């Protein structure tokens, strides 16, 4: 049975709740003929340790004048860095030209021991301003999606393929993804999530090295290196195409079952 809060989250996601006519009544969602089993509630999650790595600014790098631009520099090798050194190095990163236009480096946020890691595309305007991933409208929807499966933002770890905002929210370029990849790989290695949820086409493409669309990648468990990885739509896409939210709900439930070790 879904509790009232989760029911509200599902309604906010635009998912219609219905109750079967025949007794016993139970809550369900009108997603499809393949209506998956309801969410397993209240699974045991690791101790929360909220570590908001969100307040880093580009000013960590040495001050520069317009007459004396800091050259782009190759990224330091993040393999082997601990959290503190990783954060410091990423915040000062000048490996691609996005460092010239960022307000803040958006490193990542959440529980460094999380069982679930969510990977998105790149910071938008609000994330660039606040230094935290998924805090704009798409982020608010992501929060509601997490709540719908009984998770709060501080129980997961959230990061992006890119740590700096592409101007005008254009798509990440291949050289930017390449330059940024070491930070994400090290984050994954340190968090050691049990499951990765990849949101949107850019994350899926780069993590799975595929050009297949999200619609063809979802509903299967992939692997990123050794870690199970589920694919779903980007919340920004769901804001534009609310009729697709029911599919995201199916994806979240499959991801949840994977987290429970329950996917056949």
Residues of this chain that bind ligand URA (CB under 6 A)? 120-124, 127, 133-134, 136, 138-139, 160, 200, 236
Distance CA 131, CA 52 (A): 10
Q: Which is nearer to ligand URA, 39 or 236 (CB)?
A: 236
Residue 17 bridge partners (DSSP): 29
**Cβ neighbours for 105, distance < 8 A, ≥ 6 positions apart:** 56, 57, 58, 60, 90, 91, 93, 131, 163, 164
User: What is the nearest approach in angstroms of ligand URA to the Cβ of residue 158?
Assistant: 7
Q: Which is nearer to ligand URA, 27 or 244 (CB)?
A: 244
Q: Which is nearer to ligand URA, 120 or 150 (CB)?
A: 120
Distance CA 224, CA 233 (A): 18
User: What is the nearest approach in angstroms of ligand URA to the Cβ of residue 234?
Assistant: 6
**Which residue in 207, 249, 202, 201 sits closest to 228, CA to CA?**
207
User: What is the nearest approach in angstroms of ligand URA to the Cβ of residue 31?
Assistant: 24
User: What is the nearest approach in angstroms of ligand URA to the Cβ of residue 142?
Assistant: 8
User: What is the nearest approach in angstroms of ligand URA to the Cβ of residue 250?
Assistant: 21
Distance CA 134, CA 215 (A): 22
Q: Which is nearer to ligand URA, 91 or 236 (CB)?
A: 236
Contact 141, 234 (CB under 8 A): no
Distance CA 185, CA 165 (A): 19
Contact 106, 132 (CB under 8 A): yes
User: What is the nearest approach in angstroms of ligand URA to the Cβ of residue 120?
Assistant: 3
Distance CA 184, CA 211 (A): 20
Q: Which is nearer to ligand URA, 122 or 248 (CB)?
A: 122
Q: Which is nearer to ligand URA, 2 or 91 (CB)?
A: 91
């Amino acid at each position: 049975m879904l509790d009232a809060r989760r029911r509200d989250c599902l309604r906010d996601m635009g998912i219609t709740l219905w109750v079967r006519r025949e007794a016993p009544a139970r809550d369900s969602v009108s997603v499809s003929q393949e209506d998956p089993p309801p969410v397993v509630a209240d699974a045991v999650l690791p101790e929360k340790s909220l570590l908001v790595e969100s307040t880093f600014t580009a000013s960590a790098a040495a001050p520069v004048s317009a007459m004396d631009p800091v050259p782009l520099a190759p990224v330091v090798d993040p393999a082997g860095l601990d959290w503190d050194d990783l954060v410091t190095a990423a915040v000062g990163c000048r490996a691609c030209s996005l460092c010239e236009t960022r307000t803040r480096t958006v490193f990542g946020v959440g529980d460094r021991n999380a069982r679930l890691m969510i990977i998105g595309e790149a910071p938008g305007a609000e994330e660039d301003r606040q230094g935290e991933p998924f805090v704009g409208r798409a982020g608010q929807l992501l929060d509601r999606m997490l709540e719908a499966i009984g998770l709060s933002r501080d129980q997961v770890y959230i990061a992006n393929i890119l740590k700096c905002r592409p101007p005008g929210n254009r798509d990440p370029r291949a050289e930017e993804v390449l330059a940024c990849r070491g930070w994400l790989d090290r984050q994954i290695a340190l968090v050691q999530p049990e499951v990765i949820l990849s949101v949107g086409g850019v994350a899926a493409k780069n993590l799975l090295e595929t050009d297949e669309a999200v619609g063809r990648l979802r509903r299967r468990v992939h692997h990123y290196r050794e870690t199970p990885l589920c694919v779903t739509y980007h919340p920004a896409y769901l804001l534009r195409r609310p009729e697709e939210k029911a599919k995201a709900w199916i994806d979240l439930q499959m991801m949840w079952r994977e987290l429970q070790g329950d996917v056949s």
